[in-house]
Amino acid sequence: MPARSTPAAAGGTGSGSPGAGGPMVDVRGVDVAFTTKSRTVHALSGIDLAIEPGEFLSVAGPSGCGKSTLLRVIAGLTRPSAGEVALRGTPVQGPRRDVGFVFQRAALLDWRNARDNILFQAEMRGLPRASARRRADELIEMTGLSGFEKAMPYELSGGMQQRVSLCRALLHRPDVLLMDEPFGALDALTRETMNVELRRIWEETGMTVVLVTHSVAEAVYLASRAVVMGPRPGRIIERFTVDIPGHRGYESTLERPEFHRIAGRIRELLGSTAASD
Ligand SMILES: Nc1ncnc2c1ncn2[C@@H]1O[C@H](COP(=O)(O)OP(=O)(O)OP(=O)(O)O)[C@@H](O)[C@H]1O
């Protein structure tokens, strides 16, 4: 883990501290089955996952194995068919306001500039305007958007739009940031830049992050821990601690033996699950 202030003290997150030093996110024995008129899809099976405060967890797995469903269960947007989830020791029983969500598409409001898109979060939540504006300015600076506050979405590159989306997700200082393939629509170079930026922001803030990604390099470069899921019904088939301490330069990290070992093993696992994908 990089040297930094404790997650609770850091600026990014934390409307409260996790219960009695327990995990920030605790997923226990979670199964999810979706029943439609024609069939039942068993999306998740026996997921056990404890995510500590300040961890950066990457989730990789074949398409359709339930990665997005797992994020939705953590956010309280999908109810598990069995098992339970707790955030900061409190059972998740419905949509939680103490999470931030970033999706593959930035989904900005076309008629609002960057800053007003970020502030939309405050309006939805009825947050005090003055402090929301201060927070928005802080985030704009942290994500390198200074100078583009008044730009309309169509004037922003894909990477910048995702920065706005990240600011919007962080405005209310969520305890946990959930990211669902946030850089999947970006070109390779912009994606690398965004990886470096996200890593820096995580190092600065000590946020708890859960990132779903199809990119093995992204999963390992960013994470303090990674899990790989097997094909549907999704279950965790292997867990990794990415023990690369300190600040991670992009090129230098990708050259490290630990990176190669973990990325290689994840590729092997994904390759071996692809047949049933
Ligand atoms: N609301 C729903 N109703 C019915 N089936 C659903 C629903 N949400 C997801 N599923 C099904 O659950 C399974 C897991 O979907 P999910 O989107 O979580 O997978 P994923 O791993 O995120 O996929 P991808 O990597 O392709 O985005 C899929 O078979 C999907 O069709």
Our count of domains for the chain comes to 1
**Whether residue 66 has pLDDT greater than 70:** yes
If one counts every other C-beta atom within 10 angstroms of the C-beta of residue 43, the result is: 24
Instruction: Confirm whether 142 is domain-assigned.
Output: no
Nearest to residue 222, comparing CAs of 9, 2, 48?
A: 2
Is residue 132 a part of any domain in this protein?
no
Q: What is the pLDDT of residues 1-58, one digit of tens each?
A: 443 433 333 333 444 444 457 999 999 999 999 998 899 999 999 999 999 999 999 9
Examine residue 49 and state whether it is found in any structural domain, yes or no. Answer: yes
Q: Which uninterrupted H or E stretch holds 268? A: helix 257-274
Residue 34 structural domain: 23-98+176-183+206-276
Ligand 1 atom 8: the closest Cα is on which residue?
A: 69
CA separation, residue 275 to residues 40, 58, 234, 270 (Å): 22, 22, 15, 9
Q: What pLDDT is recorded for position 97?
A: 86
Cα distance between residue 56 and residue 156, in whole Å: 28
Asked whether 63 and 229 are in contact (CB, 8 A), the reply is: no
Residue with CA closest to ligand 1 atom 12: 43
Nearest to 40 by CA among 85, 93, 95, 81: 81
User: How far, in Å, is the centroid of ligand 1 from the Cα of 121?
Assistant: 26
**Residue 38 maps to a domain:** yes
- How far is 196 from 130, CA to CA, in rounded Å? 31
Domain assignment present for residue 129? The answer is no
* 69 in contact with ligand 1, CB cutoff 6 A: yes
Query: Which among 116, 113, 188 has a CA at the least distance from the CA of 154?
Result: 113
And the tokens for 263? 């990325």
Tell me if 106 is assigned to some domain: no
pLDDT at 274: 52
Torsion of CA 152, 157, 158, 161, to 10 degrees: -40
Question: Tokens at residue 37, please?
Answer: 């008129």
pLDDT digits (tens, 9 = 90+) for 235-259: 999 999 999 988 899 999 999 999 9
Q: Predicted confidence band at 273 (pLDDT cuts at 50, 70, 90)? A: low
65 CA closest ligand 1 atom index: 21
Average pLDDT for the chain: 90
pLDDT digits (tens, 9 = 90+) for 133-150: 999 999 999 899 999 999
DSSP string spanning 84-119? Answer: EEEETTEE--S--TTEEEE-SS----TTS-HHHHHH
Measured from the CB, is residue 33 less than 6 Å from ligand 1? no
18 falls within a domain: no
Closest residue CA from atom 28 of ligand 1: 64
- Considering only CA atoms, which of 174, 171, 177, 255 is closest in space to residue 220? 255
- Has residue 65 been placed in a domain? yes
| CATH code for the domain of 27 | 3.40.50.300
Question: Quick check: CB of 65 below 6 Å from ligand 1?
Answer: yes
Cβ contact 73:101 at 8 Å: no
